[in-house]
Amino acid sequence: MNTEKKRVLIVDDSALVRQVLKNILTRHPNLEVVGIAKDPYEARERVRELNPDVLTLDVEMPRMDGITFLSKLMKAHPMPVVMLSSLTAKGTSTALDALDLGAIDVIGKPALDQATGLEAMGTEIAETVYAASLAHVTGRRAPAHDASTALAPLAQRARAGRALIAIGSSTGGTEALRQVFEAIPENLPPIVVVQHMLPGFTAAFAERLNRSSRARVKVAQEGETLKPGTVYLAPNDIHLTVARGGAGMVAVLEGQERVSRHLPSVDVLFHSVAEACGSHAMGVILTGMGEDGARGLLQMRQKGARTLGQDEASCVVYGMPRVAYLRGAVEEQAPLGAIPGHLVAWCGREA
């Protein structure tokens, strides 16, 4: 096993934030802070000089903002980047812009008393940076593969309320989900999703996906009936499950204890789908760090559901799909670009 520490470069215009981040990241057994830069111009030289494994990058900096630098960096020297963004409406939009440009993840900076706030998030920050350091970054935004052909059999199955698709993802998942939802048709059965992301970002992420997808994309609400042609994202800080209702499947939001280290948890969603839908469901596990979703996906497969895992070559982090595959939960692995076609093919099969 490779125990070599991952090398981190911190880029932030605040001396206080730089020091706090250095203290936090140095405590992680698998991270080493090899450099600090106060602005993008200095960061550019440090990247060339130090060749770090991962970079933390503040959004708001003098001389050049973090988004502009990220865009330039991903063209000239693609590498894992974790953005630091304020938890304001503007900051949320900017953070999603960063993810679109290729940032692996985003850390929300508290508006007040940043030192105390960042220290309180220390473990989460260090794990986020470490997960990002393991990411496979190419700097190329993959085109979406259009899977919106042969739609005739889908609408009938969707209306019948007998099919449900469940997807789980984490690190790298925002981009993976974008590619999937841009490629699928608008009349698939309901799709329920758990994507691990920073609290406060889910609603804006859903709105952005909704603008680029044929299907409607929204944050799930308690008790709502799941409708065809709609993608339901789990909200923050509560688990998303499904249950049978009088008019079909309904969303149930319950439980605030972390499961598989996450809230919401992919395992919790998949377990509920296994029980409520059995063989009338399809489970998909996408890129992400850790093992959340492996147990639930295995239960889905044991109940007769079709299960699919993203393959290693197309994952940003081949963690969750790998564990699920090794445990026998994944029936088939596929590259990200082929997953929309698998969803369409499954939905168009004979009932």
In a domain, 146, yes or no: no
Q: Among this protein's residues, is 65 annotated catalytic? A: no
Provide the residue-wise pLDDT of the chain in tens; the chain has 351 residues.
Answer: 456 899 999 999 999 999 999 999 999 999 999 999 999 999 999 999 999 999 999 988 888 889 999 999 999 899 999 998 876 666 678 888 888 898 998 888 877 787 888 898 898 899 999 989 999 887 655 555 555 554 444 545 444 456 899 999 999 999 999 999 999 988 899 999 999 987 778 998 999 999 999 999 999 999 999 999 999 999 988 999 999 987 789 999 999 899 988 999 999 999 999 999 999 999 999 999 999 999 999 999 999 999 999 999 999 999 999 999 999 999 999 999 999 999 998 887 644
128 and 164 both lie in a single domain: no
- d(C-alpha 60, C-alpha 79), whole Å: 20
- Give the number of residues written for the chain: 351
Sequence-separated (6 or more) residues with CB below 8 Å from residue 184: 147, 148, 213, 214, 215, 340, 343, 344
In a domain, 286, yes or no: yes
In a domain, 19, yes or no: yes
Number of domains in the chain: 2
Please tell me the pTM assigned to this model: 0.88
104 and 234 both lie in a single domain: no
* 8 A C-beta contact, residue 186 and residue 229: yes
Q: Which two tokens stand for residue 36?
A: 């600090």
CATH (domain of 300): 3.40.50.180
CA 106 to chain centre: 11
Which one of 28, 196, 239, 280 is the catalytic residue? 196
CATH (domain of 30): 3.40.50.2300
CA 338 to chain centre: 18
Question: In 195-256, which residue ranges form alpha helices assigned H by DSSP?
Answer: 202-212
Question: In the chain, which residue ranges form alpha helices assigned H by DSSP?
Answer: 15-26, 40-50, 66-76, 89-101, 114-120, 122-133, 152-160, 173-183, 202-212, 266-277, 294-302, 320-326, 339-347
Q: Among this protein's residues, is 148 annotated catalytic? A: no
177 and 32 both lie in a single domain: no
Q: Which domain holds residue 218?
A: 152-347
173 and 254 both lie in a single domain: yes
176 and 318 both lie in a single domain: yes
Q: Among this protein's residues, is 133 annotated catalytic? A: no
In a domain, 114, yes or no: yes
Q: Which two tokens stand for residue 218?
A: 């929204």
182 and 84 both lie in a single domain: no
* 8 A C-beta contact, residue 102 and residue 138: no
Last residue of a domain, one of 133, 167, 201: 133
In a domain, 55, yes or no: yes
* 8 A C-beta contact, residue 231 and residue 217: yes
Which one of 85, 133, 169, 170 is the catalytic residue? 170
180 and 327 both lie in a single domain: yes
61 HSE (CA, 13 A, CB side): 30
163 and 118 both lie in a single domain: no
87 and 180 both lie in a single domain: no
In a domain, 310, yes or no: yes
